[in-house]
Structure formats: C-alpha cells, structure tokens
Amino acid sequence: MKDKIKVLHILHELHPSGAEMMICNAYPYWKETCESSVMATGKIRGPFADTLEQTGYQIEWVPTEGAGKKAKIGHLIAFWKFMRTHHYDIVHIHRESLSFEYALIARMTGSRNTVRTVHSTFAHTGIQRKIKAFTRHFMQKHLHTRFVAISDGVAANEKKVFGIDCDETIYNWCNNGKFQYIGEEEKLPLKQAHDTEGKMVLVTVGNCGTVKNHELLLNAIARMQQKEQIHYYHVGYGKGASEQEEKLSRSLEIDHLITFAGSTDPMPYLKEADVFLMTSLYEGLSIATLEAIFTGMHILLANTPGLTEFRDKALENVAYFDSTPESLAAKLDEYAVLHRSGALHPSREQCARATELYDCSRQVGKYVLLYKNILVQ
C-alpha cells in the first residue's frame, strides 16, 4: 500500500471554533490518504485538543511562553528544533500570525511543501499592510507556498489588500451529516419543554470577542417593539467577554429574555431556534453560519465583509441588515410579526443548496487533490 501523505496543520490555541471544527469534521474523509497531525502554538494547547486527539489526530504542542518579541523568538527557536526532528510532506499553516516564519523554517528544515489557508478578510493598514504583502509574495514566489482562500470574498480581499492571487478557493465546510433540516414539528417539543412556545427563538453561536459584535444584538433587542415575544440563546465562550455581555443585558433590562449557554454543543439550540443571527464586524466564511444554514432556518446576517459571501448563493432564508441597532431591531420586529402569523418556515430547498456548495466530503477532497498535485510537481 502506498504511504499516506504526512500533513502537519499549524493553528494557535485549539478551541471548538472555525478552523479547528473544520479539521475535526474532515478526518473521516482524508484519513485513508493522509496521516495528519495538529500543532497548537499558543500558551495552552486549548480545550479542543482532546477532542481532536480522540478523533484520530496526533497533537503536537510548541507553546509560546510569555509575551512580546522575546517570547516570539523563543517560540520560533522551539519550532525550528521540532521541525529538525520531524518531517512532513505538507505543512499546512492556518495561522495569520507567524505564517511566513513557519513556512520559512519548514522549508529550511526539509519540509519543503507548504500550504497557507487564509481564513478571514484581513484588513491590515500602513506599514503592517506592506510587510504582510511582502511576506505573502515572498512565500508564494520563493517558498512556493500554495495560498488557499476559504471563500470568494477572502480571495478578492487578498488580491485587493495584498496583491496576491490565491492558488485555490476551497469553501469552508461543516459536518453536514450532523447539521441537517429541522422542521417545525421537531422544534415544538423543545419549545414546550423550555417555556418558549409561541415565542420567536433567536440564537447566536460563536466566541464573545469584540469582532463578533454581540453588543449590537443586545442593543437591538432592547429597541424592539416585540421584544417580549422573543427568547435569545447566546452560545459561545469568551475571556471575560461573556460576563460583560451579561452585565449589558441587565443594564438594558432584557436579561429575562436571554439564556447565556456558554461553550457547549450548539445543536440543541439550533433545533429549537427560528432565527440564527451573525452580527460580526467581519468573517471569513463563518462555520457557525454554515451549520445554521444546513438546518433550513432563517438566517439574519450583518452586511459586513465575509458574511455577504452568502448573498448571491440562492439560499432561500438568508437575509441581511445594516449594522445598527435600529436596523436590526426593525428586522427582528418584522420577523416576529411573521412568526406570530405562522409564516416563518424553515426551508428544505436551502439545505439542498447548501449541500451543493459546502458538502464536507467534496471540499475535503479538493484539499487532498491539492496535496497530491503538490507532491508530484
């Protein structure tokens, strides 16, 4: 039997979000062709490391100890030492920070083939933008790094901001075996159990960082005329940020309308919800949004970079709002009226269209083909 392709995926701390979830869901589809390891490079391995290990990945950890330039240099020296004793056919870099240094060290220590997946629409300015543009061009021209965008919008941003033509665009995916159509008949028993029957149930899924802009949603709910007719599930984690959002909800006197669920499996909340919201300032191609789209529910997205990626994809229940509390409040009031009249239905057609675009096995297969093409050149 031909040897498997040895792949090292480089990430930061391993949390149940974005790239980590994609890699986790990909394992069944590339395990026959790839021997895959995941490297954590943060101060901690991260809470999702055990899950990835149980899935089948070898977990490596080259920590960044401390902060500042000294910590960065120490980390890169440790990475150099690791790479001198470990050889990979493909080093797949998912981090924005230090991506140039990882690619350079990989090549200098014998792992010549590097892939850089760009996961977001980065908007560096000034000297930082010039440095990032230079290192990207150097990686592509001299280190022969293959750049992959996770969406059309990310590819366009790389061209506009850094002058880079990505080698491939491979859409994000989610576990579409788990996230499937959820009809109203499945929602009703959950609503009855949680005392939300007759209410329009909202849900957000994601960390509580500033970029997620959850403050916008809280302020919008406070402005709704129909706010007593909704319940909002907040699923996600954050280093102190979730406590700040809970404090804001109390100050706005809407805390009785909200359940802060913390970091947990989003599926039970998606099953109950009528509307999924994403208020981010920017995204790459949001995994949480993909998961919600696959259930057929109504999706309300901020009109911001990355989220507009879904606009022209013929997804029936996807709609947009301008990123102001007033705009979102008006949209939510409109949906609340539709819900009360029984006109807010999930869509099977949306699920079918999402499968055409973002099927996990299809997208993972594109990466496997990319790896194979690199190795024969």
Domain residue extents for the chain: 5-173+359-375, 184-357
Section 126-137 average pLDDT: 95
Rounded distance between C-alpha atoms, residue 45 and residue 306, angstroms: 28
Section 118-137 average pLDDT: 92
Residue 80's pLDDT is: 98
Checking if the pLDDT of 17 tops 90, the result is no
At residue 348 the predicted structure's pLDDT band, cuts being 50, 70 and 90, is very high
- Residue 31, SS3? coil
Q: Are 167 and 306 in contact (CB under 8 A)?
A: no
For 283-305, what is each residue's pLDDT tens digit? 878 888 998 999 999 999 999 88
Question: Same CATH topology for 5-173+359-375 and 184-357?
Answer: yes
Portion of the chain with pLDDT greater than 90, in percent: 78
Fold for 5-173+359-375, please state it.
Rossmann fold (3.40.50)
C-alpha pair distances (Å), 364 with each of 55, 102, 260, 374: 16, 23, 33, 16
Smallest CA-to-CA distance from 19 within 114, 117, 149, 112 is with: 117
C-alpha pair distances (Å), 100 with each of 96, 105, 123: 9, 9, 17
pTM: 0.83
For 315-325, what is each residue's pLDDT tens digit? 999 999 999 99
Residue 371's pLDDT is: 98
Rounded distance between C-alpha atoms, residue 241 and residue 247, angstroms: 10
Checking if the pLDDT of 95 tops 80, the result is yes
- In the CATH scheme, what architecture does the domain 184-357 have? 3-Layer(aba) Sandwich (3.40)
